[in-house]
Amino acid sequence: MELKDVVAPKWVLSTKRGWGMVLTFVGTALPFVNVYATQWLGHPLDAGMVALVGQSVTNFIEAVGQVAGVALWVYGSFRPTAPLQLARVK
């Protein structure tokens, strides 16, 4: 029996382990990035700037998700297989 028979493959960020790796990398790399950003940009990356970037990325991801949801809704509306019917729930 092989491992692929026991465990289905997953995308790395679909697990807590994957997110732990990302957070560990960011927490480890951010101090080094801050040193180079201070030299390159002329000012350090403070907590306010990191929070602003995080909020902007969050807003962007939410907007992309909403556009994808509306696109799926419209796509699903154009290809119905049967008319909607009211049925009793048992």
Indicate whether 14 pLDDT > 70: yes
pLDDT tens-digit readout, 30-83: 777 777 777 777 777 777 887 888 899 889 989 998 999 898 888 877 776 767
Torsion angle, CA of 42/56/19/7, rounded to 10 degrees?
A: -140
Please tell me the pTM assigned to this model.
Answer: 0.48
Per-residue confidence (pLDDT) for residue 8, from 0 to 100: 67
Amino acid present at 28: T
